[in-house]
């Protein structure tokens, strides 16, 4: 046991290292220390950051749950936020973060619980030199979760209902269902089989029926497992390393060290011999067809220098010529990509190598042949000694990507690195982590390949049709399945495939060729500049094309992005490019076709030219057309089985748009389209176009003009007259509008309803109106979450904030809940009515804090080149050219007065306003919820009925008729004349 700490001890720390391996463009400073209580900490000084962050990773999660109370670790995660001895208010933490541009979350893995937050890094403008930064206050509140959480009794039931809602959110998710099924069919003596989420039944009802004090059980779990020596902390801020270290020592030395050993599971494995050579046929909710092969693998915990599974997964998952994917694609058996790689289980337990293939109908019928092809390729790998040149290609690409790795958001960085610190990596490598390959170890590769054999795997086939009947049902999610041993005759055929040699193996299978897309020119000409340019320049502006360009003057990486507004045939060719982080995409856009190419600028032109030529000369092959058509039909059908909160937004957009369609409108048309239709239509599509090009990155004007000209000369279109360019408009909901649209969910088993409640405010180009809507979002975000989620427990999914269309702006709520939509709408109205008093009584000090929090958020620096490219393209594609919008927004927000917001609220938001415009979309579950049957308690809860504005909701039954009565907005207007951007 650890010895009691003296005050002097508590001020001590051990410096482990400040020499970390970091990207060449990283200007941060790092230090790893260990406090006296054995808490290990990474301190990060970033003088340029606008957002500070911290994350704590605790080495305990569902693998430590007691068998009779699954999900207890998840419950502890939820309850830890609900008040501490120093800050007893249950929303003290969230309210503080909200006032300083902050956000928070937590997530859990098998063996760790990861808590993190992000907050403004700067002191407020009027702060004195002695005022602490927002990070200081956030850290103080954050530390208490690990020192003295209260597990408030009055929050217990509410938070366990939140856990229950989170679980029910995933009940119809195939990702969760299939993952759970695989674990349910594993070794019951290994915690891999545990049910990680928990629900109200197992965390509250059943334990209390047994006489347990549930709150005490959660407190005991925290006391037993939360120990400083099992925790890893990351703190990132503007402050010096010395100041951050002082804060951490002061705030986190109070975390008790119980000298617990690292959680390890070494005595059992997930798959016993009896669990192997099995096949599981699983019935999904969505129309999926999938083949999974799982192999118990070697333990790579200490193999971080060589990572043999990366070599193996690179080859098995390859999609270029000679690969498994290339061959089964040629047979028409694959519908999507092939994924291959190791899934780590937990410390002390070897990982699981998994190969996953999405199948066509023919592929499903021939899944046994595909299994044999996989084993033939494995025999090829075993026959071919591990190749140094393949490893060196992987190493080279990994080195380049790490060298020029750009910043990620502070919260993402902190959360990820805190988790990495739980691994045995040398502390100097916790930033580079597993992203780099250091040592070629052919023996370990061979050892890994030896695990991929016919007596060491199990198979899952996912399909709604095969075998047609299912014998069993999984306990927690209700997934239907049939589980049995693989037939002996199939095993024999697999063994034969595994023993093939060059003479009798499929000649189409071979190792990949060398990758021609690996960049070699990585120079960046970095110049001293006074101020980075805020907008691109227009190099060309004529009837045929516009070419926008900005040379990167902020991030200094050898990368570039190209967007053209004007994928299947390029898959094999582009796979090598993808491996080098050189990507292309072709997708439909509201105004045409968008082509995007991004990555290292050295090879950008090569891939663009190949992509354009393929587009121009596309050969629509009948057999491939049928596969893509069927894939599209399934995607459209499956969209109706997504979680309701993911469906509701498309309905809102449809009801707001002048022209627009839902997937259900496309679906009946698809059967009537054949290959001849596409062959006739496609050539016309590119015959007459206007080309809008953005080139941004490590390139020069001449390069940009060359890339733009390449698009024009390759496609060689006729010009599209400006009068024929599309104009995007949206419907204008008049003052006093009160409309509701009802729709039943297609999934008959989804227990959740979902509402989107939208209040239309006005023209998105109206800067003062936009600023007020943004400030309303800032002010109400935390109170809405606290009231509707934390206190009322309406559901796990509670979203509120600004919602924009191409031409209008509004304010929305989205709630997914077992409660019906009528009830949810009443609770939203109740919140809006009560918040009017909060707004009216808000002090000037608090009001100014909200303004500053929002201004900090709007002016937050971009982290990488892609973010800046996307910002430019957003304004170019809608022709607003409002490149300095965030600065204009900040100026408008700064000028707002308290009475401005009160008038705004009374006009557009409060339920009694006769001028507000409301649209509610109700997606209704077909399942009658127990909560909705509890009429007596429901009556009590809605007793605070809100006074309305006297209008009767108009129920939309005929959308065409409804839209025909609406006025449409003007199109998006340019903030400045386009000529002002010409160079």
Helix, strand or coil for residue 638? helix
Would you state the structure tokens that stand for residue 617, as one six-digit string?
């000369």
Contacts made by residues 92-99, CB under 8 angstroms, sequence distance 24+: 92/141, 93/138, 93/141, 93/142, 94/782, 94/785, 94/786, 95/782, 95/786, 96/137, 96/138, 96/141, 97/138, 97/782, 98/778, 98/781, 98/782, 98/853, 99/846, 99/849, 99/850, 99/853
**What gap in Å lies between CA 783 and CA 775, rounded to an integer?**
14
Would you state the structure tokens that stand for residue 19, as one six-digit string?
């020499």
**Any idea which residue has 């943004």 for tokens?**
774
DSSP letter, residue 789? I
Is residue 793 within 8 A of residue 931, CB to CB? The reply is: no
Q: Which of 40, 77, 792, 879 is catalytic?
A: 77
Dihedral sign of CA atoms 443, 447, 448, 452 in order: positive
Is residue 144 within 8 A of residue 109, CB to CB? The reply is: no
β-strands 40-45, 29-35: how paired? antiparallel
Residues whose CB is less than 8 angstroms from the CB of residue 345 and which lie 6 or more positions away in sequence, other chains included:
110, 192, 270, 351, 352
Query: What are the Cα distances from residue 452, in Å, to 61, 298, 341, 352, 448?
Result: 30, 10, 12, 11, 7
Number of Cβ within a 10 Å radius of residue 677: 12
Would you mind telling me the total number of residues written for the chain in this entry?
983
Helix, strand or coil for residue 754? strand
Helix axes 153-169, 72-80, angle to 10 degrees: 120
Known catalytic residue at 535:
no
Residues whose CB is less than 8 angstroms from the CB of residue 209 and which lie 6 or more positions away in sequence, other chains included:
none
Bridge partners, 565 (sequence order): 594, 692
| Residue (of 186, 202, 204, 205) closest to 194 by Cα position | 186
Helix (H) or strand (E) segment spanning residue 917? strand 917-924
**What gap in Å lies between CA 609 and CA 344, rounded to an integer?**
40
| Residue (of 203, 204, 83, 210) closest to 150 by Cα position | 83
Contacts made by residues 75-78, CB under 8 angstroms, sequence distance 24+: 75/159, 75/160, 75/163, 75/198, 75/203, 75/218, 76/113, 76/218, 76/221, 76/222, 77/106, 77/108, 77/113, 77/115, 78/159, 78/160, 78/162, 78/163
Rg (CA), the chain: 29
Query: What are the Cα distances from residue 959, in Å, to 406, 656, 671, 962, 964?
Result: 47, 11, 24, 5, 8
**What gap in Å lies between CA 190 and CA 271, rounded to an integer?**
9
**What gap in Å lies between CA 844 and CA 846, rounded to an integer?**
6
Would you state the structure tokens that stand for residue 181, as one six-digit string?
């099924």
| Residue (of 318, 368, 367, 366) closest to 338 by Cα position | 318
Strands (E), 209-313: 231-237, 278-282, 290-296
Sheet holding 592-600, edge to edge: 537-541, 545-551, 691-697, 559-565, 592-600, 583-589
**What gap in Å lies between CA 973 and CA 787, rounded to an integer?**
39
**What gap in Å lies between CA 223 and CA 215, rounded to an integer?**
12
Is residue 832 within 8 A of residue 920, CB to CB? The reply is: no
Render 40-84 in DSSP notation, one character per residue.
EEEEEE-TT-SEEEEEEEES-SGGGS-TTSTTHHHHHHHHHTS-B
Residues identified as active-site: 77
């Amino acid at each position: 046991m650890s010895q009691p700490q003296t005050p002097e001890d508590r001020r001590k720390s051990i410096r482990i290292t400040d020499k970390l391996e970091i990207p060449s463009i990283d200007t941060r400073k790092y230090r790893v220390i260990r406090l006296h209580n054995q808490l290990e900490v990474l301190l990060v000084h970033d003088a340029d950051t606008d957002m500070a962050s911290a994350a704590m990773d605790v080495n305990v999660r569902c693998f430590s749950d007691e068998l009779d109370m699954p999900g207890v670790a998840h419950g502890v995660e939820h309850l830890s936020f609900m008040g501490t001895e120093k800050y007893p208010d249950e929303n003290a933490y969230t309210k503080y973060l909200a006032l300083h541009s902050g956000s928070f979350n937590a997530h859990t893995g098998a063996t760790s619980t990861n808590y993190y937050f992000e907050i403004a890094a700067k002191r407020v403008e009027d702060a004195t030199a002695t005022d602490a930064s927002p990070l200081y206050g956030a850290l103080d509140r954050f530390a208490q979760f690990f020192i003295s959480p209260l597990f408030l009794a009055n929050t217990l039931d509410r938070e366990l209902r939140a856990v229950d809602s989170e679980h029910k959110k995933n009940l119809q998710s195939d990702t969760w269902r299939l993952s759970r099924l695989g674990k349910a069919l594993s070794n019951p003596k290994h915690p891999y089989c545990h049910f990680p989420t928990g629900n109200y039944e197992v965390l509250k009802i059943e334990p209390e029926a047994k006489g347990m004090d549930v709150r005490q059980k959660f407190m005991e779990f925290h006391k037993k497992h939360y120990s400083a020596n099992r925790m890893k902390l990351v703190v990132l801020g503007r402050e010096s390393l010395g100041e951050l270290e002082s804060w951490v020592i002061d705030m986190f030395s109070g975390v008790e060290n119980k000298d617990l050993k690292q959680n390890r599971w070494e005595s059992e494995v997930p798959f016993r011999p009896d669990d192997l050579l099995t096949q599981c046929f699983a019935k999904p909710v969505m129309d999926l067809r999938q083949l999974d092969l799982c192999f118990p693998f070697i333990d790579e915990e200490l193999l971080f220098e060589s990572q043999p599974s990366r070599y193996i997964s690179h080859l098995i998952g390859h999609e270029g010529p000679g690969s498994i994917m290339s061959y089964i694609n040629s047979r028409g058996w694959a519908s999507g990509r092939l994924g291959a790689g190791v899934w780590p289980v937990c410390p002390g337990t070897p990982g699981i190598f998994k190969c996953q293939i999405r199948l066509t109908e023919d592929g499903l019928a021939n899944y046994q042949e595909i299994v044999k092809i996989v084993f033939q390729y494995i025999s090829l790998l075993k026959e071919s000694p591990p190749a140094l040149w393949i490893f060196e290609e992987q190493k080279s690409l990994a080195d380049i990507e790490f060298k020029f790795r750009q910043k990620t958001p502070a919260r993402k960085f902190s959360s990820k690195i805190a988790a990495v610190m739980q691994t045995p990596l040398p502390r100097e490598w916790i930033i580079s982590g597993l992203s780099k390959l250091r040592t070629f170890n052919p023996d370990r590769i061979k050892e890994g390949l030896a695990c991929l054999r016919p007596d060491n795997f199990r198979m899952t086939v996912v399909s709604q049709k095969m075998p047609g009947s299912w014998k069993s049902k999984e306990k927690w999610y209700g997934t239907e399945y049939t589980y049995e041993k693989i037939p002996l005759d199939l095993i024999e055929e697999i063994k034969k495939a595994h023993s093939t040699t060059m003479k009798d193996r499929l000649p189409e299978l071979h190792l990949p060729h060398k990758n021609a897309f690996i960049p070699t020119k990585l120079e960046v000409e970095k110049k001293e500049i006074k101020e980075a340019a805020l907008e691109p320049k227009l190099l060309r502006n004529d009837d045929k094309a516009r070419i926008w360009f900005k040379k990167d003057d902020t991030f200094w990486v050898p990368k570039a992005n190209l967007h053209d507004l004007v994928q299947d045939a390029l898959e094999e060719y582009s796979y090598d490019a993808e491996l080098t982080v050189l990507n292309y995409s072709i997708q439909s856009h509201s105004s045409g076709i968008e082509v995007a190419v991004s990555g290292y600028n050295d090879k950008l032109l090569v891939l663009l030219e190949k992509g354009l030529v393929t587009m121009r000369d596309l050969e629509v092959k009948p057999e491939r057309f049928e596969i893509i058509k069927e894939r599209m039909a399934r995607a459209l059908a499956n969209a109706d089985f997504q979680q309701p909160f993911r469906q509701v937004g498309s309905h809102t957009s449809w009801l707001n748009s002048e022209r627009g369609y839902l997937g259900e409108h496309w679906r009946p048309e698809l059967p009537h389209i054949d290959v001849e239709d596409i062959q006739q239509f496609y050539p016309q599509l590119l015959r007459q176009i206007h080309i809008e090009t953005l080139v941004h990155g490590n390139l020069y004007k001449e390069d940009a003009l060359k890339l733009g000209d390449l698009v024009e000369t390759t496609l060689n279109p006729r010009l599209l007259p400006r009068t024929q360019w599309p104009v995007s408009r949206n419907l204008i909901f008049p003052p006093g509008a009160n409309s509701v649209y009802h729709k039943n969910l297609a999934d008959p088993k989804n227990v959740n309803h979902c509402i989107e409640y939208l209040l239309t405010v006005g023209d998105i180009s109206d800067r003062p109106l936009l600023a007020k809507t943004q400030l309303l979002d800032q002010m109400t975000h935390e109170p809405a979450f606290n009231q509707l989620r934390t206190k009322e427990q309406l559901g796990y999914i509670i979203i509120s904030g600004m919602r924009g269309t191409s031409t209008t702006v509004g304010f929305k709520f989205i709630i997914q809940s077992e409660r019906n939509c009528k009830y949810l709408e009443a609770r939203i109205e109740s919140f809006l009515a009560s918040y009017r008093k909060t707004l009216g009584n808000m002090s000037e000090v608090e009001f100014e804090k909200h303004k500053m929090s929002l201004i900090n958020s709007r002016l937050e620096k971009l982290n990488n080149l892609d973010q800046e490219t996307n910002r430019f393209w957003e304004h170019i594609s809608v022709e607003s050219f409002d490149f300095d919008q965030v600065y204009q927004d900040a100026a408008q927000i700064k000028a707002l007065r308290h009475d401005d917001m009160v008038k705004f609220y009374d006009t557009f938001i409060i339920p009694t306003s006769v001028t507000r415009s409301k649209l509610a979309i109700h997606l209704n579950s077909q399942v009658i919820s127990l909560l909705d049957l509890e009429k007596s308690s429901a009556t009590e809860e809605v007793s605070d009925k809100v006074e309305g504005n006297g209008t009767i909701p108009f129920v939309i039954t005929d959308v065409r008729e409804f839209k025909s009565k609406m006025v449409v907005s003007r199109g998006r207007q340019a903030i400045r004349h386009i000529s002002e951007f010409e160079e």
